[in-house]
Structures are given as structure tokens and as C-alpha cells.
Amino acid sequence: MKFFNDLADFSAAEIDELITLARRLDTNPEPRALEGKVLSLLFLSPSLRTLISFQSAMAKLGGSTFVISPEMSIHGLESRSGIVMDGVAAEHVREAVPVIASYGNAIGIRAFAKRESLDDDLADREFRELVSLVETPYINMESAINHPCQSLADWKTMDDLGIPGNGGKFVLSWTWHPRPMPFAVPAATVHMAAMRGMDVTVLRPEGFELPDVIMDKARQAAAMSGGSITETDDRNSAMQDCEVLYVNSWASPHHYGDRRAEEQIKPELHDWCVDEPWFENANCDSRFMHCLPVRRGVTVTDRILDSSRSVVIAEARNRMLVQMALLHQMLSGS
Ligand code: CP
């Protein structure tokens, strides 16, 4: 495996193979599989789970990691092209990124959406530019428009719970958040559930439709897997017989990059905070999923997060396990 950037680059059978390997490595540890191998971790955006789960995954396989982020005492980084660097930044990513990559056998890169240009973010322009600078295998640890490690973990979490792929009803719902949030998780999630063959409903208030490029990619995956995609702002109909409610917040594409304009349309949406009444028409054992971090009392109530519906901790642990599998495939024997 030369890169891990998008579940769409893999077949469902290959994903199944990764999940099977993740389970095997959990029950039958291989503490020397990646002995002597180094994973470079470049965090241009913050993290808790991604940072620690990759460090732990490499350690459990006998390899090691190093972490670089702007918060460390590194030189200020410039990423704009054609710039005269007479400001604060002392080093350009065009030198820094290949140098960082050259110290390891593979590199993981996290670079959140800049949320200035919708077109640039939907095209994943910054991440593509960064990975074009490296010659080692690379892993997308969340870019403007994708979070494949999260989606692989979420796929495994549903498999572990016995939630069916074909025929399972999956609701991806927008929820309240005080700030405009990126499309990475909702885009990766709607595609993952469609690829898994689920009947997917995107539930969102008017004005928060997912951009066409995201929905079209999910529809293509559904067409191949036998799943389906619908979109609605009607919570009652969306939640009917729902087996999984996956929540996230994302920016309004109509006001992308304009926080104040988005704030004008959000005041009436405070009730988009998940609580028990959301599940009235759902399956009785319907699950609540979220990639974390999550704001209690803002996105979801304590009583949902603390209930048996919530599988957020299992999702987070599965990050480590599926990443062990993909690192094993990427680096063992290479
Ligand atoms: N879910 C996830 O990627 O968490 P972090 O942002 O903490 O890494």
C-alpha cells in the first residue's frame, strides 16, 4: 500500500481484509512486525485521538514515531506559492515537508480545511500539494475533505456491533455547533456508509445541504454497493427505523468562509442537539456515533453520550486497531 487517502481507493473486500487484520492484531499481537520502522507525523491542525492512536499503533507493532506541529519550537512555516518570505515564516513547506518525510518510512499528514475557498477545500488542494512533496508512503490523517482513518474505524465499529451493511438504515445528521465546521468528517462518513451498502439519509436544516460533489460521490458508492442516499430536513421521517445516528456539524456551503453570514442563519437551530426524543421512531437499540471531540450540551446531551446507545469510545479505540492494520500492510516487509 503506497498511500491511504480515501476509502474510495479500496474495494469493499480490501476494507474487509484490513478490518480482519485489525482484529487479528488485537487478539494476536505482533510486537516486532514494524521493528526499525519510523512513522513521521505532521500535524498542521490539532488532535487528540489521531495523534495518540498512531503513536500507540506504531509502538504496539514495534516501530516508532516522531511528531512535528507548528506548536513545537519549529521555524514558522509558509505554505503559499510564489511568496517573498520577508515576514514571520522562516521556512517553506516545499523544503520542510520532504525533509520531515525523509526521516521516516511513511508519513501521516493532518491539514484541516482552511475554510476560505469552498472550491479549494472541495478539491483538497492543500493536502494534494503537501503529499506531492513526499516520496514515502503517506496517510491522510484528516484533510479538508476526507478523514479515511475515522471512516475505516467507524466501518469496523458497525461490523463489531453486528449492524448490517446492506439494508441497514444510517442517518448522518447535522448538529448545532457555534462555529462553521469542515466537510471532512461528513463527506467521509456519507461515502463510507454508502460504500458499506447502507440506506443513508442525510438529515440537515435548509441551508446546510452537503455540496453536490460530496453527495454525488456517495451516490456513486451507493449505486455500486446496493445502498441508497436520500436527503431531508424532516427529523421524524429520517429517524424512522434508524439503526445508526451519526452526528456532526458542517458549514453552510452558501456562506462558506463568511462566519458572520452563517451566524445570521443559525440562531433558530439550537434544537439540533441530539437528545432521547430524536430516537422515538428509531429502532430500540439504535446507536449514537460521533468521531469526537464532541461538545456536551451543544451537539448532544449528557444522557445520550452516557447511555448504552453511545459507541463513541469504541469508535475511538478502533482508530488505533485499524491504523495498526493499515501500517502493517503499508510497512511490513517494505
Ligand atoms: N476523531 C478525531 O480525528 O479526533 P482528533 O481530532 O482528536 O484526532
Question: What pLDDT digit, counting tens, does each position of 117-166 carry?
Answer: 999 999 999 999 999 999 999 999 999 999 999 999 999 999 999 999 99
Q: What phi and psi, each to the nearest 5 degrees, are found at residue 200?
A: -105, 130
Looking from the CA of residue 147, the nearest atom of ligand 1 is 3
Residue 294, number of CB atoms within 10 A of its CB: 18
82, 155: one domain: no
182, 294: one domain: yes
200, 274: one domain: yes
What radius of gyration, in Å, describes the C-alpha atoms of the chain? 20
Q: What phi and psi, each to the nearest 5 degrees, are found at residue 120?
A: -60, -45
Position 73 scores a pLDDT of: 81
Cell numbers 503506497 correspond to 2
108, 158: one domain: no
Q: What does the alpha-carbon distance between residue 144 and residue 126 come to, in Å, rounded to a whole number? A: 8
203, 281: one domain: yes
Cell numbers 446507545 correspond to 309
Residue 285, number of CB atoms within 10 A of its CB: 11
Evaluate if residue 334 carries a pLDDT over 60: no
116, 193: one domain: no
228: cell is 441508497
196, 257: one domain: yes
Three-state DSSP class for residue 230 = strand
Q: Check residue 297 and give left, alpha or beta (phi > 0: left; psi -120 to 50: alpha).
A: left
Position 246 scores a pLDDT of: 98
Position 267 scores a pLDDT of: 83
Could you tell me if 133 and 101 are in contact, meaning their C-beta atoms sit under 8 angstroms apart? Answer: yes
Measured in angstroms, how far is the CA atom of residue 149 from the centroid of ligand 1?
A: 10
Give the pLDDT confidence of 178-236 residue by residue, as tens digits.
999 999 999 999 999 999 999 999 999 999 999 999 999 999 999 999 999 999 999 99
CA angle 308–318–141, rounded 5-degree value: 125
Measured in angstroms, how far is the CA atom of residue 50 from the centroid of ligand 1?
A: 5
The length of the chain in residues reads 334
Mutate to test the pocket of ligand 1, among 152, 291, 322 (most ligand atoms within 8 A of CB): 291
* CATH number of the domain where residue 132 is located: 3.40.50.1370
244, 323: one domain: no
Q: Is the CB of 291 under 6 A from ligand 1?
A: yes
Domain that residue 126 falls in: 3-146+319-331
pTM: 0.97
168, 280: one domain: yes
252, 156: one domain: yes
Q: What does the alpha-carbon distance between residue 298 and residue 17 come to, in Å, rounded to a whole number? A: 37
186, 228: one domain: yes
How buried is 84 (Cβ within 10 angstroms: 0-12 exposed, 13-18 middle, 19+ buried)?
exposed
Q: Is the CB of 48 under 6 A from ligand 1?
A: yes
How confident is the prediction for the chain on average, in pLDDT?
96
119, 73: one domain: yes
Total number of domains constituting the chain:
2
